[in-house]
């Protein structure tokens, strides 16, 4: 499902170039659940951004379901990403002026894959799956952090991606809500067969994954 080769990221800064990811080779099978762990600053988010098509690698390749993501034109990459990859970010990323339902439906509207009515029905179903049926009409500021996170997960699932990337989706939540959000992600992985790659600082949660990938100083360590 996912194959990275020689994946590398340098950032230009005032203090000179910073290498955040150095030559990562990684294979994750279809339907797998992999947890990525490592210290703050080790390059986890930089790696996830390149896998998710959000930040261009300085070197190396990302293949998702056989497609060379960074070999696509910008327009093709955007279309591919929107239908194959769901991304839940480290920080809440809902559009503040859209209600929960419209935030969730947005990926389908952008991809133009469904009628407005069909997208609203699917968004409502996803919100119900997340236990948020009564909050469909709420704006993000009217929701708690955990509720916002669940809306973001529902949005990431809108276009039924084969690959779900989650970068510390529970970092700022209380323990109970963290467990609930994690259980949701695990259910999605099991019930829908969605490949799940999760960055977490919580080693107890990481231990529930089929596989743990340790990152240190931008590289995969055994």
Binding stretches for ligand ATP (CB under 6 A): 11, 13, 18, 20, 38, 40-46, 90
Burial label, 155 (beta-carbon count in 10 A; 0-12, 13-18, 19+): buried
Binds 195: which of Mg ion, ligand ATP, none (CB < 5-8 Å by kind) = none
The residue (of 42 and 194) whose beta carbon lies closer to Mg ion is: 42
Among 2, 32, 35, 45, binds Mg ion (CB under 5 A): 45
The residue (of 45 and 159) whose beta carbon lies closer to Mg ion is: 45
3-state secondary structure of 62: strand
Q: Kindly state the smallest distance separating residue 104's Cβ from ligand ATP, in Å.
A: 25
Distance CA 162, CA 190 (A): 12
DSSP for 80-118, written as a single string: HHHHHEEEE-SS----TTS-HHHHHHHHHHHHT-S-HHH
The residue (of 120 and 167) whose beta carbon lies closer to ligand ATP is: 167
The residue (of 109 and 201) whose beta carbon lies closer to ligand ATP is: 201
Distance CA 185, CA 210 (A): 13
Q: From residue 184, give the alpha-carbon distance in Å to each of 86, 111, 129, 160.
A: 15, 25, 9, 15
| Residue 42 is a binding residue for Mg ion (CB under 5 A) | no
Binds 73: which of ligand ATP, Mg ion, none (CB < 5-8 Å by kind) = none
Q: Kindly state the smallest distance separating residue 26's Cβ from ligand ATP, in Å.
A: 15
Task: List residues near Mg ion by CB under 5 A.
Answer: 45
């Amino acid at each position: 499902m996912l194959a990275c080769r020689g994946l590398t990221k340098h950032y230009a800064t005032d203090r000179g170039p910073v290498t955040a990811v150095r030559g990562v080779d990684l294979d994750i099978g279809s339907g797998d659940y992999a947890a990525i762990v490592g210290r703050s600053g080790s390059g986890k988010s930089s790696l996830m951004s390149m896998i998710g098509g959000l930040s261009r690698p300085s070197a190396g390749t990302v293949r998702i379901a056989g497609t060379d993501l960074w070999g696509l034109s910008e327009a093709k990459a955007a279309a591919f990403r929107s239908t194959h990859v769901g991304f839940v970010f480290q920080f809440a990323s809902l559009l503040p002026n859209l209600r929960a339902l419209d935030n969730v439906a947005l990926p389908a509207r952008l991809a133009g894959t469904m009628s407005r009515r069909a997208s609203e029905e699917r968004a409502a179903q996803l919100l119900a799956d997340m236990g948020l049926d009564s909050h469909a009409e709420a704006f993000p500021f009217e929701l708690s952090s955990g509720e916002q996170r669940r809306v973001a997960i529902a949005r990431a699932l809108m276009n039924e991606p084969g690959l779900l990337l989650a970068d510390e989706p529970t970092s700022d939540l209380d323990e109970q809500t963290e467990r609930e959000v994690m259980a949701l992600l695990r259910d999605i992985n099991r019930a829908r067969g969605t490949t799940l790659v999760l960055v977490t600082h919580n080693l107890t949660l990481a231990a529930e994954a089929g596989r743990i990938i340790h990152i240190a100083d931008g590289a995969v360590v055994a």
